[in-house]
Amino acid sequence: APRGGPGPTLVLFPGDQSRNRTDRELAEEYLVRFGYRLPGEMQDGGPGQAMGPALRRLQKQLALPETGELDPATVAAIKAPRCGVPDLGN
Amino acid sequence: FLTFDGQLKWDHQNITYRVQNYSPDLTPEVIEDAFARAFAVWSAVTPLTFTRLSHGPADIVIQFGTKEHGDGYPFDGPDGLLAHAFPPGPGIQGDAHFDDDEHWTLGKGEVVYTRFGTAEGAACHFPFTFSGRRYEACTSDGREDGLPWCATTPDYDQDGLFGFCPSELVYTLDGNAAGSPCVFPFVFEGRSYSSCTTDGRSDGYRWCATTDSFDRDRTYGFCPNRASAVTGGNSAGEPCAFPFTFLGRSFAACTAEGRSDGRLWCATTHDYDRHRKWGFCPDTGYSLFLVAAHEFGHALGLDHTTVREALMFPMYSYTEGPPLHADDVEGIQFLYGPRTEPDPRPPTAPPTGRPPAPPTDRPTAPPAGHPPAPPTGRPTAPPTGRPAPPSPADDVCSVSVFDALADIGGRLHFFKDGRLWRASPRGRGPVEGPWLLSDVWPALPPRLDAAFEDPLTKNIFFFSGGQYWVYAGRTALGPWRLEKLGLGSTVQRVTGLVQRKAGKALLFSGEHYWRMDIKSQSVNRGAPLPVEELFSGVPLEAHNVFLYKGNIHFCRDQFYWRVTPRGQVDRVGYVTFDIAQCP
C-alpha cells in the first residue's frame, strides 16, 4: 500500500459557514427545526435512544424506510436543500 | 395532501401580490416572470386569479433576504433552507421569503440575460466568437468604458447581436435611484469607494451610490451580481478573479484545493494569500420558479405532503415538466375547488400546430363534408353520417365537460349532447367533426355516460343512465338494463369500461369497479371494489373512465388524471387543451 506523503493541505477559509458538525448534531437540529421533536425532548434520556421515535416520524414524512435509525438515507435527506416550513406542528 | 390546522385559506379569489425586492442573481424581469409563472401553476387548476401590485398592501408580499430577515425564522446561508412562506391571513401571513444566500437560477445553471445593446434583452450565448476569438463569459473586450457584454448568438462578428451583462456599471436594483448605474468613486461617511460595498449594512447586500457623494445626495442602489459571481464565502456577488494565487500556486479555474468537502471555490482577487477574499463557484443553482411555486402553495393554504413526487413535498428537486402532481391538484382544489372557466383566449390566431377554423370554413355539406373513410373500412366504427349544421356548439374547444370519451377504431371520440368529434388518426392534427350522434349510431340517446370498443370483436358498448346498447357492425342490440350485466339495482350509471386483457375489462361506476367478462356481458359476483384501492391518486368522483394510448384516464369536470400501466398518476391536465389540443 502506498505510504503516502503529506496529505492535502486544508485551509480555514474566513467566513466559511460550513462548520464541521456530526451527522447526529445535524439530525438533532433538524428534528427540532422541522417539528419532529420539541427542544425539551433533547435532554430526555440523553442523545441516543430518544431520537428513534422522532426519526421514525421524519422517515415516514419524507417517504424513507422507517428504521428509526440515523441511516445513510436519512442523513442524506437531512442534508438536502428544502423548504423552511416545519413538516409537523405549527 | 395536507392543509394547515384550521384549513386556513383566502376568503376571496382575486389574490394580490407584491414583489418587495429583487435578488441580485437574476434580472427583475426574469424574477417577475418566474413568480408570474409560479402563480399560474395554481391558477390553472383553481378559480384563483393573481394580480401583481407595484405598491401598497397585498395579500402575498414576496421578499428576498438572508439570515435573520425580520420574521424570527432566520435563513442559514447557502443550501439547507431555501425559502419559507406563511399560511393565508393578514399581515405577514401569506408572505413568501426567499434566501438570498442561495444561487437563484432557473434550475439549469446560470442564464445571463442582457440589457440594452441590439439583442432586446436576449440571453447570452456562450461560447460566442468576437473578432475571431472564443468567449465563454461576459467580456469588456472591444470597449473603452469597461462595460461587460456578450453576444446573444454564436457569432457576434456575423450577427452583431449583443447586450450588456449584469453589472453595477449598467444598472442597480431597488434603492432610490430608479436603477441608475453606480458612480465610482463615491463618498460614504467621508470615505471614498471605488467598488460596491456592504459597509453600513447588516444584511450583506452590496450597494453603491449613484452620484459621486452619498453623503450629499443620498441616492443609492443595490449592485446586481455579475455573471459567474460567487456565492457564500466572504465575497458573495463578486466574480472569480482568474488567475489567482493560492498557497503560492496559480489557479486559472475553480478548485477544491484546501477544502475537505470537495466544493469548488475561487478567489475574488488575484491573490488569495494576500487578500483572503473567496467564494463558492456558481453551480446549477435553484430554480426560482419551482421554489416559488412550492412556497405559493403554502401561501394559499397547503402544508407539506408526504408524496415524494408532489410539488408540496418539502425537499427541492428539479423538474422540467409541469410541476403539479395529482396530490397537489387535489389539495388546492380541496380548498378552492376546480377552475370553472377556460383560460382566456387571445384574440389573435391560435398558435401554429392547429390551423384556425373559422365557422365559414367548416364543412357543411357533402361531398366535402363527408368525413373521411374509416381506417379499417368497417362501416360502423367511425362516424359515417353527415356533419351537423354549424353552431357555436360545434367547436370542440367550446365544450368544458364532455359526456364521454372513448377510443373507437383507434381514434379518440368525444361525445357531448348528441354530437361527437374524433381525434385525428395519430392524435396530432385538429379534431374532426362534429357529427350528429343520431346520424352515426341512430339507436342511441343524445346523452351518453360511457362508450367502449371491445378490441377483440370490435363491438361497441354504449351506456346511458340505467341502460346500455351494443353495436355489432351496423346492427344495434339493446337497450338492456344494467342489471343484465349483473350489477345491482342501486347502480345508476356506468362511467367507463377499460380492457385489462383479452375478453376481460374493468367496469367503473362512481367510486367502485367490477371485473367484467366481455363475451358473456357479466360482471364477477360479489361486492364491487373501491377504485381507490387499485388506482390511488385519482378522483373518486370521476364521471368518465377510458383507455387511450395505453393509459387509463379518469375525468372529473374539465380535468383528466392519467394513470400509467404501472398504476401511477403521471399527469393531470385539461381535456380540451391537452387531449383535444385546443389552443
pLDDT at A82 exceeding the cut of 50: yes
Place A41 in a pLDDT band, splitting at 50, 70 and 90.
low
Residue B148 sits at the vertex; the CA angle it makes with B145 and B153, to the nearest 5 degrees, is 125
Q: Contacts of residue B313 in chain A, CB cutoff 8 Å?
A: 63
Cα(B228)–Cα(B250) distance, integer angstroms: 19
pLDDT digit string (tens) for B504-521?
Answer: 899 999 889 999 988 888
Q: What's the pLDDT at B362?
A: 26
pLDDT at B386 exceeding the cut of 90: no
Q: Contacts of residue B265 in chain A, CB cutoff 8 Å?
A: 13
Least confident of A15-29, B28-42, B187-201, B384-398: B384-398
CB B495 within 8 A of CB B509: yes
The answer to whether A83 contacts B314, with C-beta atoms less than 8 Å apart, is yes
User: Which residues of A, range 17-36, sit inside 8 Å of B by Cβ?
Assistant: 17-18, 34
Question: Minimal Cα–Cα distance from A63 to chain B, Å?
Answer: 6
Question: Minimal Cα–Cα distance from A34 to chain B, Å?
Answer: 10
Please tell me which residue of chain B has the smallest CA distance to A16: B233
pLDDT at B168 exceeding the cut of 60: yes
Cα(A27)–Cα(A52) distance, integer angstroms: 11
DSSP summary character for residue B101: T
Least confident of B74-78, B284-288, B384-388: B384-388
Place B119 in a pLDDT band, splitting at 50, 70 and 90.
confident
DSSP summary character for residue B238: P
**Top-confidence range, B131-135, B184-188, B351-355, B358-362:** B184-188
pLDDT at B352 exceeding the cut of 90: no
Cα(B408)–Cα(B73) distance, integer angstroms: 57
- Name the residue among B356, B452, B373, B455 with its Cα closest to residue B412: B452
**B295 noted as active-site residue:** yes
pLDDT at B252 exceeding the cut of 90: no
Q: What's the pLDDT at B290?
A: 96
Cα(B425)–Cα(B545) distance, integer angstroms: 21
Q: What's the pLDDT at B77?
A: 86
Question: Minimal Cα–Cα distance from B67 to chain A, Å?
Answer: 12
Sequence-distant (6+) residues with CB within 8 A of B210 are: B172, B175, B177, B180, B181, B182, B183, B217, B219, B220, B221
Least confident of A46-55, B186-195, B229-238: A46-55
The answer to whether B247 contacts A9, with C-beta atoms less than 8 Å apart, is yes
What are B405's three cell numbers?
A: 370519451
Place B341 in a pLDDT band, splitting at 50, 70 and 90.
low
Q: What average pLDDT does this structure show over B522-542?
A: 82
Q: What is the mean pLDDT of chain B?
A: 84
Decide which of A90 and A75 is more confident: A75
Q: What's the pLDDT at B145?
A: 85
Q: What average pLDDT does this structure show over B438-445?
A: 87
| Helix A23-33 with A51-61: angle, nearest 10 deg | 70
- Please classify residue B178 by burial: count the beta carbons closer than 10 Å to its beta carbon, then call 0-12 exposed, 13-18 middle and 19+ buried: exposed
Q: What's the pLDDT at B549?
A: 86
Q: What's the pLDDT at A16?
A: 77
pLDDT at B342 exceeding the cut of 70: no
pLDDT at B448 exceeding the cut of 90: yes
CA B134 to chain centre: 36
Residue B110 is which amino acid?
E
Q: What's the pLDDT at B91?
A: 92
DSSP B256-281: -TT-SS---EEESSSBHHHH--EEEP
Place B355 in a pLDDT band, splitting at 50, 70 and 90.
very low
Q: What's the pLDDT at B360?
A: 26
